[in-house]
């Protein structure tokens, strides 16, 4: 499987070297694309230096900070145009351990449309977050799962493998959310298309270096959009029809 690992960055100079090294250690054959939005620290210089000796590493530099969702959409389009089979999302801040990637990629290779590195299934964990943040993330996920009928535990997770055919099937047009909302929107599209999603347990570690780029607006956007999509499912009976379609189409009746 030709794999493109996408690493979004905005001022991640303190983490970028280590994450790139660890990715190389665990997935030596994959291509890596750093998509940087207007970093003002040394992030770009560090990536350029490494790219000089690593032909499988490159950087896309954008001069406007357009948000995580927009950065991933940009990188997905590049990956699809270039014919990759699998596209990986991983944060630059070392919260996601690249050691799990071979397992996730092998599931994708075996046909799983979307593989999610999940904090909230048995074996998964969150290390270093204050209790309030874990609570918000956990209940936010429960809310999204319930309202949208996702049957998943970690739809906001940012550690994922998409098969390229999944992205082609669900389409990237009209995806409008950023941050957590973006992850939920892409998951929702995948589930709605009837494609298989599998969660793999991960130990998520809070960032040790650098500063967070998430803010309250992103949480509120996710909440607002999830509620809107849920209501629209309700009004259009879309979810009811989806459940109905997934039922067995014929039941063998006993011969009279
Ligand atoms: N290209 C790009 N990358 C971004 C943008 N915002 C955040 N990122 C990167 O996306 C990843 C996730 O962002 P984080 O700030 O770590 O968000 P988080 O993991 O939800 O929260 P913390 O770990 O607490 O910071 C990191 O690698 C960031 O550098 C953006 O606007 N553009
Ligand atoms: Mg982070």
User: Ligand 1 pocket: which of 5, 6, 10 to mutate (most atoms <8 Å of CB)?
Assistant: 10
The residue whose C-alpha atom lies closest to atom 21 belonging to ligand 1 is 212
Return the domain boundaries, the chain.
Answer: 3-243
Interval 103-132: pLDDT, tens: 999 999 999 999 999 999 999 999 999 999
Fold of 3-243: Spore Coat Polysaccharide Biosynthesis Protein SpsA; Chain A (3.90.550)
What per-residue confidence (pLDDT) applies to 5?
98
The residue whose C-alpha atom lies closest to atom 12 belonging to ligand 1 is 91
CA of 75 to the centre of ligand 1 (A): 15
**Strand 160-163 to 86-89 pairing:** antiparallel
Interval 148-166: pLDDT, tens: 999 999 999 999 999 999 9
- DSSP type of residue 253: P
40-49, 101-110, 241-250: range with lowest mean pLDDT = 241-250
Residue 15 CA: nearest ligand 1 atom is: 27
Please name every residue paired with 199 in a beta bridge, in sequence order, or none if there are none. Answer: 116
- 160 in helix, strand or coil? strand
CA of 251 to the centre of ligand 1 (A): 49
13 vs 238: which has the higher pLDDT? 13
Specify whether the CB–CB gap between 5 and 19 falls below 8 A: no
Ligand 1 close to Cβ of residue 95 (< 6 A): yes
Q: For the sheet containing 31-37, what is the strand order? A: 57-62, 31-37, 3-9, 86-89, 160-163, 114-118, 197-201
Interval 173-193: pLDDT, tens: 999 899 999 999 999 999 999
Q: Please give the Cα distance from 117 to 161 (Å, whole number).
A: 9
Residue 71 CA: nearest ligand 1 atom is: 1
Q: Is the pLDDT of residue 256 over 70?
A: no
Q: Is the pLDDT of residue 214 over 90?
A: no
Place of tokens 């599209």: 189
Q: Please give the Cα distance from 163 to 129 (Å, whole number).
A: 31
**Strand 57-62 to 114-118 pairing:** unpaired
Query: Which ligand minimizes its atom distance to the CA of 90?
Result: 1
CA of 91 to the centre of ligand 2 (A): 6
Specify whether the CB–CB gap between 104 and 115 falls below 8 A: yes
Planar angle of CA 164, 167, 168, nearest 5 degrees: 85
Question: Helix %, strand %, coil % for the chain, to 5?
Answer: 45, 15, 40
* Residue percentage of the chain with pLDDT more than 70: 95
What per-residue confidence (pLDDT) applies to 45?
98
* Residue percentage of the chain with pLDDT more than 90: 87
Q: Please give the Cα distance from 113 to 194 (Å, whole number).
A: 10
């Amino acid at each position: 499987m030709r794999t493109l690992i996408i690493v979004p960055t905005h001022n991640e100079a303190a983490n970028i070297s280590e994450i790139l090294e660890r990715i190389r250690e665990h997935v030596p054959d994959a291509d890596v694309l750093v998509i940087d939005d207007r970093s003002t620290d040394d992030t770009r210089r560090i990536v350029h230096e490494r790219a000089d000796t690593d032909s499988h590493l490159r950087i896309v530099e954008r001069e406007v900070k357009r948000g995580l969702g927009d950065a991933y959409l940009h990188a997905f389009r590049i990956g699809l145009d270039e014919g990759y089979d699998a596209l990986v999302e991983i944060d630059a801040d070392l919260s996601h351990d690249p050691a799990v990637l071979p397992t996730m990629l092998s599931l994708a290779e075996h046909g799983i449309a979307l593989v999610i590195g999940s904090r909230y299934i048995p074996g998964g964990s969150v290390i270093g977050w204050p209790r309030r943040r874990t609570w918000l993330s956990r209940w936010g996920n429960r809310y999204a799962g319930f309202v949208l009928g996702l049957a998943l535990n970690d739809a906001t997770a940012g550690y994922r493998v998409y098969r390229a055919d999944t992205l082609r099937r669900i389409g990237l047009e009209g995806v409008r959310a950023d941050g957590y909302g973006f992850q939920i929107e892409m998951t929702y599209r995948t589930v709605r298309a009837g494609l298989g999603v599998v969660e793999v347990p991960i130990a998520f570690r809070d960032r040790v270096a650098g500063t967070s780029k998430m803010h309250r607006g992103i949480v509120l956007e996710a909440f607002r959009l999830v509620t809107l999509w849920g209501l629209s499912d309700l009004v259009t009976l879309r979810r009811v029809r989806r459940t109905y379609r997934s039922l067995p189409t014929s039941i063998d009746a006993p011969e009279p």
